[in-house]
Each structure stands twice: as structure tokens, then as C-alpha cells.
Amino acid sequence: MAKAPVLTPQSEDFPRWYQDILAKAELADNGPVRGTMVIRPYGYSLWERMQAEVDQRIKAAGAENAYFPLFIPQSYLTREAEHVEGFSPELAVVTHAGGKELEEPVVVRPTSETVIGEYMSKWVQSHRDLPLLLNQWANVVRWELRTRIFLRTSEFLWQEGHTAHATEADASAYALQILHDVYRAFMVDVLAIPVLIGRKTRQERFAGAINTLACEAMMRDGKALQMGTSHELGQNFAKVFDISFQDTSGEQQTAWTTSWGVSTRMMGGLIMCHGDDTGLRVPPRLAATQVVVMVIKDGDGAGEAAARLVSELQAAGVRAKLDGRTDTSFGRRSIDWELKGVPVRVEVGPRDLANGEVTIVRRDLAEKRQVPIAEVGHRVEMLLELIQSDLLAEASERRDTNTFDVSTIEEAREAAQQGFARIPWATLGEEGEAKLAEDAITVRCLQSADGQVPASETESGVVAVVARAY
């Protein structure tokens, strides 16, 4: 009795699978305006967990949250030449408001370097005011041609950090610190997504930056997704917004700034890195609901036993939830929780209950096990840890087996059809990069021989990781 699959299988049509899961796991819908999205409560609960975890790490890195306006005077954007050039094609500009045409149009922020630069300039007078470490959680708008929910939408949610430093070395070190201690740590430890870190080529650099660092992940279809970026802005913005200070010897100096961000795109990464043909698989540390305790059927004491388990788990600090919707069939509810990717299910029914047991199910492996009721708390906690590390291990292995060391551009092109190709940057170069671009293959990042972020692209042993990307 083979039922129709719940989702279009990944192997059959990956983009379709992605669309299916967005709808069936109740993650998000398209918004009424082209390219916008509505994030549904379950999807938003995952985003809120991401925010909480990232926010905590940002604060640990010393930055403080603030909020800057959605509207930016158009003139601000035009001050930094590369910045305008990079962003002007995707700006949403307000020309009319209050029933009148505005004297100066305002743009809806595509990113906030400019407004924040203007205020940093006011706030920074002395070397004692540095470093100035700011962050904001906000929405931004970039009018995109081809959009996909979470991966590229005209409006998205993100966190953007903006800092000013007294020296280039300090700014550079901070941009790297954010990449390591905030982004990579969060992605690996919480999202269970193994990410490569590296620097971007000139071609891929942020508009107005002197250096862009990034975290890159491999999705289940072998394509790359940029999960986060951290930019060294040099003195480009500090000069045009006059962020300057008096140093210890009384000299006037120009500051060095950075900016860095992660967005709701990480939701797409989560889905495409861990999701399988039965739905999402949420790593336990991220999961808004880690355990669902299901009452199989009413009237046999299961309801009471399940409620008791939920409170015990909650008391132990587990994010547990009761599913007592016994007016819906058990099979239907199981499938719903699998779609949503809740890591562990505890099934409470008369058969097991008669033996003082319940059934525990791992979402990631679809593995069921009978466990004495008294051991549930302990077993669940162990399982959550195990699932977290297994998801990371599985994703790492998939990435590694789909990463190929190559020595020619032709081989790189070939390998990128399946996954990542690693090719010496000295071999590829900007000409090779342009050549690969004809086949929609891009340099995701440059790494030093040991997998770290190279100090410069000319450093010896630098490897370009190339792939098709979202």
C-alpha cells in the first residue's frame, strides 16, 4: 500500500521538494507583493531561535544592539562610489509620501553602512570612543529579479553589525573574530551545518569593502549557499562619513570600519542541508520544540502519562510539547511532526503503557525504541545530544565526499556539477573565474592550505573553492 509521497522526492526535483516543504511544514508563504515572503509561526519560531543564539554570541563579542531607521536619504547612498554602484539596481526608492512628491527621495535600506556611518561620525571623537561595536536586527529591502523564499527575497530579516576601530589591524581582527566565534561557531554548533570559511575574490566582494570573508555551506543537491559574511570596509566609509578621532598623540585619524551579517537565508540553509524526503530535520539545539509527546489514543491513561512526561521533561530544561489531539489519527500526526522535523517523538499508548514503557522515535534516522517510563528523561537528553552530533557528522561526510581536488579549469567545471571543486588559485586566477562564470560556476571562497582564511589572495598555497551557488 504505497501511498503517494508526502513531499516530492529530492532526487526527482529538488526545487520542487523545497517548495513542498515550505508549505507542508508550515514554514512560509509567498507575500502579496512579488518577491516578498510571509514567515509562518513555525518558521518564525526557528528564526527566533537563530536570533537568540546569534544575538548571544554577538554580545559575547562585545557588540551592543541599537536601531537605525528604515528610510535613508538617497544622498547618503551616493557618497561611496562602489557602494552606490553595487546597490542602485536593487534599491526601492520612495518618491511620494504624505500625498506629495518628496524634495529628496528616500531609499528603503538595502543595508545600513551609510546611516550608521553618519551617526558613528557624531559619536566618535576620541580614540577612547573606539572600538565602537554596534549591531542591529532589522529588515532590509533589495529589489530582486529572481526570488525564492528564504534564499533570496526582496525583503528579508537579518542582523547587521557595524564597527569602527582605531587601526586597520584591529578592524581586520574583529571581522575575522565575528566570522569565527559568532558565525562559524553558531552554524557548526547549533545549526549542525559544516561551513567553509574563507575570503571572497574581488569579483564576489561586498560593494565598498576592501575584503569580504564568508561562511559557505554545501546543500544536499551539491550547490553552495553563502550563510554569512563579514567585511573589512577599510577607510572607505569612514572617509566619506568622516568617522575620525584624535589619537593619543593628539593627531586627527580616520577610523577603520567593518560590517557583517547573517539573514533569514540561514533558514534556507537549514532546510536544504538537513531536510530529507519526509521533511525537515531540525538539530536539537536549534529546535523550538525538541520533543513531542504524543498521546496515541484517549481513555487508557495515556493522556495523563503523557502530560506528566511533558512536565518532567520541561522541568529538566527540555523544550517539550504535548500532542493530545486524539481527534486526529495517529499516523497523520506522526507525519506532521516529521515534516516539521521535531528531533524526538515520544509515543504514549496502551500497549507500551501496560509494560510501563513508551516508544521513543528519532526523527533523523526514523528509529523506534521501547523505553521504560522512568528512563525517558535520561534517554531523551542523550538522544538530543546524539542527534545533534549525528546531523553534523552526516552533513560533513556528504560535503567531504562531494568535494574534489582538481588541477585544471576543465576538471573544476566537471566537479562543480556534483559539488565543490578545490583548485589552486594560482591556476584559476581571475581569468579562470570569469570562464567558469559562463557556466554559472563561481568562486565561493579562497582558503589557505590549512582551510583557514588566507591573509591575502597572493599568499602561497591559496585554494579556490568553486561551485554552483544559490
Partner RNA sequence: CUGGCCGUGGCGCAGUUUGGUAGCGCACCGCGUUUGGGACGCGGGGGUCGUGAGUUCAAAUCUCACCGGCCAGACCA
Instruction: Compute CA distances 67 → 4, 70, 427, whole Å.
Output: 48, 9, 45
| CB closer to RNA, 16 vs 378 | 16
Cα gap 396→380, rounded to integer Å: 24
Q: Which three cell numbers stand for residue 7?
A: 513531499
How long is the chain? 470
Residue burial 330-355, b: 16+ Cβ < 10 Å; e: rest? beebbbbbbbbbbbbbbbbbeebbee
Least distance in Å: CB of 365 to RNA? 11
Least distance in Å: CB of 122 to RNA? 27
Least distance in Å: CB of 331 to RNA? 2
Q: Which three cell numbers stand for residue 344?
A: 524526538
Least distance in Å: CB of 336 to RNA? 8
Cα gap 190→320, rounded to integer Å: 18
Q: Which three cell numbers stand for residue 402?
A: 562531494
Return the percent helix, strand and coil in the chain, to nearest 5. 40, 30, 35
Cα gap 433→440, rounded to integer Å: 10
| CB closer to RNA, 124 vs 196 | 196
Q: Name the one residue in this structure whose C-alpha cell is 526523527.
A: 363
| CB closer to RNA, 68 vs 245 | 68
Least distance in Å: CB of 421 to RNA? 16
| CB closer to RNA, 224 vs 243 | 224
Least distance in Å: CB of 360 to RNA? 9
Coil, strand, or helix at residue 28?
strand
Least distance in Å: CB of 104 to RNA? 25
H/E stretch holding 48: helix 41-60
CA angle 97, 100, 105 (to 5 degrees): 55
Least distance in Å: CB of 99 to RNA? 25
Q: Which three cell numbers stand for residue 450?
A: 590549512
| CB closer to RNA, 147 vs 403 | 147
| CB closer to RNA, 130 vs 274 | 274
| CB closer to RNA, 167 vs 307 | 307
| CB closer to RNA, 124 vs 149 | 149
Q: Is residue 39 within 8 Å of residue 28, measured between CB atoms?
A: yes
Q: Is residue 423 within 8 Å of residue 414, measured between CB atoms?
A: no
Give the CA diameter of the chain: 82
**Dihedral sign computed on CA atoms, order 192, 193, 194, 198:** negative
Least distance in Å: CB of 448 to RNA? 21
CB atoms within 10 A of CB 169: 10
| CB closer to RNA, 38 vs 145 | 145
